[in-house]
Amino acid sequence: MRTDFKEYLEKKNAQKAIDKIAKQFKDKKVVLYGAGFMASDLLRNYDFSRLNIIGIADIKFQDDTEGDFYGYPKLGPYDLLETEFDLLLITTYDDEPVRDFFNDDLFEGEEINFKVKTLVKMSLWDYIKQIMNA
């Protein structure tokens, strides 16, 4: 069953978070990481036009980078090491597994010259609810 993140994103003031990051990274190259249900809801319902998004990376795109995802080029995560950008913006509900993947696999031992941020951070209460529903 598909999760609807509409209410969650409204409660978390997603547009305010997007606008804050757009101001902070004005004229910088941004890659979104995560192409799941939450990213889809974000891209369908929120204005990302002030961000210079050069692509969306996700593990499911590693062997399928043809076409686009909501109008943005698809990137495999291992292509990120060869891509020039300033911000890797995580667009997943739970960023912990993504950050673990970055630290333990993707960027381990690599010198990176970009920032990594999570667009909408899960609160402790959200995390507890997720564990209880698992």
Mind listing the pLDDT tens digit for each residue in 21-51?
999 999 999 999 999 999 999 999 999 999 9
Please give the chain's pLDDT, 134 residues, in tens: 456 688 889 999 999 999 999 999 999 999 999 999 999 999 999 999 999 999 999 999 999 989 999 999 999 999 999 999 999 999 999 899 999 999 999 999 888 999 999 999 876 666 566 556 65
Residues linked to residue 75 through DSSP beta bridges, in sequence order: 57
Domain ranges of the chain: 6-133
**131 residue type, one letter:** I
What is the token pair recorded at 54? 């050069």
Which CATH number fits the domain 6-133, given the four candidates 1.10.3470, 1.20.58, 1.10.150, 3.40.50? 3.40.50
Residue 101, Ramachandran bin (φ over 0: left; ψ between -120 and 50: alpha; else beta): alpha
Whole-number Å distance between alpha carbons of 134 and 132: 6
